[in-house]
Chain A
Amino acid sequence: MERQMLQMDDPVFAASVSKTAKAPIIVMPAGLSCQAELFLGTSPTIKAATSGLIPFISTGLAQIVSLPVIMPAAGGVAYHVYLDVYAAGYLLLAYLATEDVIIPSGSVGPITWV
């Protein structure tokens, strides 16, 4: 399945903080047992952080699914954001967000008074 582009802002978070992403997801027909997973990584196969599989029942309409994620501890990286949706165990939707999640890192050296 070819991954589709998903619109989102370009968020910046501190390392290891807990954040919840909310995604409007439409799966038809209604009544299907579905699961969604949002994960961050530098590629679709490397999951630096994931919401795990979040179950929901399709309604046939847009429904907001909350996807809690603990941000990666490794900073200084712009992580791609992936969203996979499964129905009855089959991968139904595979999205890649247009913007990355940025986890900055840095350091402060010795202070000099002049």
Chain B
Amino acid sequence: MPQFTPSAQKTAVAPISMSPAGLSCEAELFLGPNDVTKVASSGLKPFLSTGSPQQVTFLVTMPATPGTYHVYVDVRAGGQLILAYIGSENVVIASPALTFGTPWGYKTGCPDSSFKGANVSVRISNPSAASITKRIYCRWQPSIYWPSKTNAGYKTMAFVGETEITWLDVTVPAGGFKDVESPYQFNVVGYGWGCATPLISTGASFYFWFQDQDGNESPAILL
């Protein structure tokens, strides 16, 4: 099943045979949930029938919305619909993926406490030709459970905010990158950011990694 990115320009080639020869024909390839809803179309491609198979090319700009679409080919002659085909394979428009680099970070010190916080960052790149916005999470887990992420259940770090927010909606421009920082911090009056609520004990180590809403993950780092 062919898979493309939203709004990508693609060319389809189909061998079309029409008889008798010499007929003025038009073919259209379109994508949609059904044959009356054309989400993307090549428009009408004129050709002259030869009575033999001839390669007809269709330039189509893929739909902007991710999803699965049927592929239809209609062929007309003399303005009459002669052939109406549906492709045996659908086209999938996939949500473009972000690429995570290897995170970096450090433990933060907390006065009067035997516990520490952590500050973890990652570079997120967008290799596609369109800007992408994804919800980003920063996960962490004690190293004794690694690599299983289910034994004790991983936890999600909070991003900086007036209240605890365990995600961040990040927009990465086309062909660019963005560095995302996820300090574990609570805003507790009298204690300031980062040290009021203990996160990790001084003597233990923890894995940290980032994840987007589609489940794509960065490598993990050990702190």
List A residues at the B interface (Cβ < 8 Å): 11-14, 17, 75-78, 102, 104-114
Knowing that A111-B89, A113-B91 touch, tell me 16 more A-B residue pairs with CB under 8 angstroms.
A12-B77, A14-B80, A14-B82, A77-B20, A102-B78, A104-B19, A104-B78, A105-B18, A105-B19, A107-B17, A108-B14, A109-B17, A111-B14, A113-B2, A113-B10, A114-B13
Nearest Cβ on chain A to B82's Cβ, whole angstroms: 5
Nearest Cβ on chain B to A48's Cβ, whole angstroms: 15
Closest to A106 in B: B18
Given the known inter-chain contacts A14-B81, A109-B16, please indicate yes or no for A104 contacting B49, CB distance below 8 A.
yes
Across the interface, do B79 and A111 meet the contact criterion of CB distance under 8 Å?
Answer: no
Across the interface, do A12 and B78 meet the contact criterion of CB distance under 8 Å?
Answer: yes
- The B interface is mostly helix, strand or loop, or mixed, namely strand
* Cα A77 to Cα B19 with chains together (Å): 7
The residues in B between 1 and 55 inclusive whose CB is less than 8 angstroms from any CB of A are: 2, 4, 10-20, 23, 25, 29, 49, 51, 53
Across the interface, do B14 and A112 meet the contact criterion of CB distance under 8 Å?
Answer: yes
Across the interface, do A111 and B20 meet the contact criterion of CB distance under 8 Å?
Answer: no
Closest to A107 in B: B17
Across the interface, do B2 and A76 meet the contact criterion of CB distance under 8 Å?
Answer: no
* Cα A25 to Cα B176 with chains together (Å): 76
Across the interface, do B75 and A13 meet the contact criterion of CB distance under 8 Å?
Answer: no
Given the known inter-chain contacts A12-B23, A14-B81, please indicate yes or no for A109 contacting B15, CB distance below 8 A.
yes
The 8 Å CB contact of A12, one of B14, B53, B79, B85, is B79
When distances are taken between beta carbons in the complex, the residues of chain A under 8 Å from B75 are 106, 108
Nearest Cβ on chain B to A28's Cβ, whole angstroms: 36
Across the interface, do B83 and A107 meet the contact criterion of CB distance under 8 Å?
Answer: yes
Given the known inter-chain contacts A108-B14, A108-B73, A114-B13, please indicate yes or no for A13 contacting B80, CB distance below 8 A.
yes
When distances are taken between beta carbons in the complex, the residues of chain B under 8 Å from A75 are 19, 82
* Cα A59 to Cα B120 with chains together (Å): 98
Closest to B58 in A: A111
Across the interface, do A102 and B20 meet the contact criterion of CB distance under 8 Å?
Answer: yes
Across the interface, do B23 and A104 meet the contact criterion of CB distance under 8 Å?
Answer: yes
* Cα A14 to Cα B82 with chains together (Å): 5
* Cα A77 to Cα B21 with chains together (Å): 10
When distances are taken between beta carbons in the complex, the residues of chain A under 8 Å from B11 are 113-114
Across the interface, do A111 and B73 meet the contact criterion of CB distance under 8 Å?
Answer: yes
When distances are taken between beta carbons in the complex, the residues of chain A under 8 Å from B4 are 113
Given the known inter-chain contacts A12-B80, A112-B12, A114-B11, please indicate yes or no for A78 contacting B73, CB distance below 8 A.
no
Chain A CB within 8 A of B147 CB = no
* Cα A110 to Cα B88 with chains together (Å): 8
Indicate the member of A12, A13, A75, A106 with the most B CB atoms within 10 Å: A106
Closest to A13 in B: B80
Chain A CB within 8 A of B87 CB = yes
Across the interface, do A107 and B80 meet the contact criterion of CB distance under 8 Å?
Answer: no
